[in-house]
Amino acid sequence: MNDGNLKATVERLFSLLSDRQVDYVLVGGVALLQYVEGRNTQDIDLIMALSSLERLPEIELTERDQNFARGTFEGLQIDILLTLNPLFAYVRHVHASPAVYTERTIMTATVNGLILLKLYALPSLYRQGDFARVGIYENDVATLFHAYRPNVETLLTELDPFVGDSDMQEIRDIAKDLQTRFSRLEK
């Protein structure tokens, strides 16, 4: 899908979501572009309730489990984080704010919301051996850490109730490693 088609398809998707009064939050690479430059993406990532997804037959589902769904809309891949997952519901309610995208205001994850989602995903990506996505997610977190200087300990405390102890330790190690990289760059 070329850039012109992508933009038009995304606009039609947002119009459909608005027309159907679907409550959603934009996350992932497109949301990240609200905060940093240089992130390439060819899909849309949304947080939404399963009941909202069921009102959108135009999205052809190709996969679905308890926490995620994947589908296409006019050739555009859409990854959906379902609010059945407590963290996804939390980010949707606590870490979303309006942002302008393609001349429309849409709810978008905040910097902290994006960081929480990326850190949450990393232990699973490591276990799956999906090192291409590990690299992308770690780079996204590192870029947001560097550009916005969030209170990392506060974010880790916020994330703690949503993950198991071993994953939380791994997330703490990842965050510490990313912070160490910055201190080396700043010297």
CB–CB of 98/89 below 8 Å?
Answer: no
Question: Class of the 3-109 domain?
Answer: alpha beta
Q: What is the pTM of this model?
A: 0.93
Classify burial at 3, counting beta carbons within 10 Å of its beta carbon; exposed 0-12, middle 13-18, buried 19 or more: exposed
Q: Where are the domains of the chain?
A: 3-109, 112-186
What lies within 8 Å, CB to CB, of 178 at 6+ separation is: 138, 141, 142, 145
Across the range 62-77, mean pLDDT stands at: 96
Across the range 109-114, mean pLDDT stands at: 98
Q: How confident is the model at residue 101 (pLDDT cuts 50, 70, 90)?
A: confident
Q: How confident is the model at residue 115 (pLDDT cuts 50, 70, 90)?
A: very high
